[in-house]
Structure 1
Amino acid sequence: MTTSNTKSTRATLYRMVMDKHVCPYGLKSKWLLKRKGFSVEDHHLTTREETDDFKEKHDVSTTPQTFIGEERIGGYDALRQHLTGTGQKDDETSYTPVLMIFAISALVALSVTGAYIGDIFTIRTIELFVAFAMTMLALQKLKDVESFSTMFLNYDLLARRRVGYAYLYPFAEAFAGILMIAGGTAALIASPVALFIGTIGAISVFKAVYLEKRELKCACVGGNSNVPLGFVSLTENLAMIAMGLWMPISILAL
């Protein structure tokens, strides 16, 4: 790629627009260019033959393709990197998925306690935050149990001895989280489950990361995540331990 022509405000975009298919990346490229103030010369590739001819002519393997001035920028990811300086490689570390789960769990917990208790500054808010986060994290794992179990087997001590536990774990986490949301007797049933899986998980993560100094990916948000194993997973497990201990105390003390 040649040096960026940052002074040009005119862009040429080639994208697939067919009767049964409009390329979503082409739409996103056009939207991004206009948002950044470019005048877009929008060329539609309306047939497979026209698309293949374009690829051969410009020696590219994919569309859309954006040109700014005389410079070919590339596809949507390259354009986004060029115009915004952001973008993520497939193997690049990202905490965004787990941070979004925690943020949404916190907001949902605040909404529920505010609506049904009338006060967001309560112990129940914290309980619900952890329970919602457990449920959402379990859902991420259940999206692809095979990928999760493979990644989980890299470090979990019990799963290495009993492979079936790697498949059971996300269901157990979801079960515990849902029952803790319900509260009362249901939370009492969930507490030993959360305490068990949280304790095994915390020991496993601590051993793999802090004793053996291994660099692994965390399975906490599913088997395809790029979250490093360490603080996030340890926090998840410690939160389950805390909930497993706290819920019986709080319920039986009433």
Structure 2
Amino acid sequence: MDKVISSAAEAVADVGSGTTLAVGGFGVCGVPVVLIDALLALGADELEVVSNNCGLDDHGLGLLLQERRLRRVVASYVGENKEFARQYLSGELEVELTPQGTLAERLRAGGSGIPAFFTATGVGTQIAEGGLPWRYDASGEVVVASPPKQTQTFDGQEYVLERAIVADFGLVRAWKGDRHGNLVYNASARNFNPLAAMSGRVTIAEVEELVEPGELDPNEVHTPGAYVQRVVALTPDQAADKRIEKRTVHVEEGRA
């Protein structure tokens, strides 16, 4: 089945307001920026986003934040996005902060048909006991807090029950992809992309290089095409447009 869609705009055309999105990327690495830009132009709002972080103020998911398109974010890291922190602390945005490994497993479980799982991470903290601030009001008072979670002891160790995440759509970026939706990610750009792809009921992949079926070595495929419903081939300029989050320059002694 040929899953290639002619444009990013067409690929996200049915992403409506109130939709839940699982979005790949870590910082600015492996972020499906072309699909996010298409969503921005589409105008959908009241979105719930599940992603490790929310990009930079002027990049990736940060653009949707700036335009007040996000209602809720499930993430593990506020990071370098000052607008993300501002909206959360001022009561404009609901945020469910989740341990990074737990977030990864919640996405993977959702794509594997596992409704919930037990983990030791968060036992003895507000993660398990409840009370973690999800939403503040304008005065800084907590108006929505996390509920307590079920715990259980196995072999003398206490664990907390975490629910899987199944998103309406998964948005990912891959290094290579074929027309059947098989995807390969490059090095650290793999990050949360395979997990977001698994979590989405409908997964849309932007690929830097589109190849024909059979050209990918099956042993190198990170996301099988069964998880991907739509593929968007990037232009060379789009594929080459990659941000660097922090640039560190070493100055040799004695040189300016």
TM bracket (short chain):
under 0.3
Higher relative contact order (CA 8 A, sep 6+): 2
TM-score (norm 1): 0.21
Higher strand share: 2
Larger Rg: 1
- Relative to the length of structure 2, the TM-score reads 0.21
